[in-house]
Chains A and B, each alone.
Chain A
């Protein structure tokens, strides 16, 4: 069983909703950079927009883009992953509570602080009543969402899924993590990537997802074992699977950054500037490891 990426869109520190990063990437020197916002007017009316934090606007803009590009306006499932959820409004809400007591809490900040509402906001926007879930598992949040979708494709429960990885990063949160050396040698940023995936290949398909594996506390041996077992299962020798250089220097780091790795690999496959078989490996703090096997269509 396979699943096919039909469309993918990003908002990041590169030009939003564009693949210009491939030929003309923006380069940053600073250790923390927030995403470049897209023009949200074509996607969200101003009345709805003011009740949404940045993470929700980006999620809806990327979701609407892939829905439009793929022609799948109402997917069977909407599944997203987020490491921190709506952290910006959570901070606003909690800061007000700390600084001013509980008397002056703003309802909009509270509404927007709910961390696991990304998929449901997209569903309301797309008027989609199907399966809906938002995973919040720090560094493997996106892979949890992708794995959920992939398993449901395997079970034949869905024929299309909108899968996303979304994260905000605020100055305060950046500074807190910076104090414990979390960002050493990294460029901190945010994430907004949506994929439209279906069970049927089309001429527009970007890449074929062959397998998604999540391992908890695996150790090197178990990772190698999982890779070798999958290679055998797929009938493609280990040496034909290439792990490309990370796109972290291009898109920056966030808890859902692996979504950019899949996005970049899919874009390159579509443009025929990639090996035929790509293995994406994410190792989050030596605790959680994800393996994503994708091939050219």
Chain B
């Protein structure tokens, strides 16, 4: 009535505006859609049944962003607590007083008080079964979860899905395990600080990513560029911690130095978990693609007079009988490679100390730089400006013999990439001699920078390190006169 009165009085426009403002004020902008893991490009190229099988497997093993699944096969510290009920409540949904202890095998620092959303498994008591009969007598699976935990009063509220008011309240002495609080915490922090570039699924396609010319890391190949590990090894936890703390100069990755240990621990676990999830999906894709179950292959097979029904049946058989085993196997292999990266054998440590940084050493380094063994100048250019002949050449597409239509170097994610301009003084993976040694020894994973650990002796690598580190300061070669900035004598500008 109020609105209609205004409408009649002021010719409609103001009234309409007022009505709209009122409507938005009441309704807001609608609810934020729940975050979702998106399936990769590789999966979308497969036949529909294969796609569905992979999606179902991912949902079972990893869940959705708002319902993460703890899959113990993976070498991730999900964070685990053992608990005993000290003082029960009257009904199931009442707060119970508990005694919690962190499991000994979960060591990564995390915030003890934040257990919200973590899974809960009853190991004794009336709910240890985990399944129940519903009204129609069907077996239903029950998911327990920590709805609320108050560390000051040691009070825990448990939620169950599907919700069931008739559930028996736990008794004093009932035991349970809290699973996955680390993953939950990592997820929350990731969604706040990392997701807008690296994406919900860790595919490097967050909303801000499209504005960058240097793309955020897509974790799904399980490859990270700047590591302390050997060329075939994954990144170690320490590598990821270092990248997050120090940032990557020369890219859009800023430093998150102020994160506390109990924040950075869960974030790194979550990133590793996302990388494993992505790798699991990509490797599954490859399995199906090898069986010639991509849409393209199937179309071709049908053209070559194979029976469509036979193909479908074979695919259904593969999904039903073999894929579950393949999936377990893949998870084991992926997990194994991440575990291996933590071992001391994976770590690259020079056998001898850095050669003294003398003009002679640099000269030897310079010769190696141009030599056929190291071929540095092929990409990094005659004076290290990053403009070698390879940057003008047409490179082969990864995994094929076909040449690209555009000249220049590309990384494994298909993004154009430039060899480092060694005169710039910017070192993305760190400026310690040790960092540069490791870049040469292991290469830069996922990029055309190859490993030289076997081709070059330690002495030779150190000579190249000495030469490369001298490049920014060489007189006459485009020195990094950072800019021609005016050095202000008295600042004319105020703060603000």
Q: Do A and B come from one complex?
A: no
Q: Which residues of A contact B (CB under 8 A)?
A: none
Q: Which residues of B contact A (CB under 8 A)?
A: none
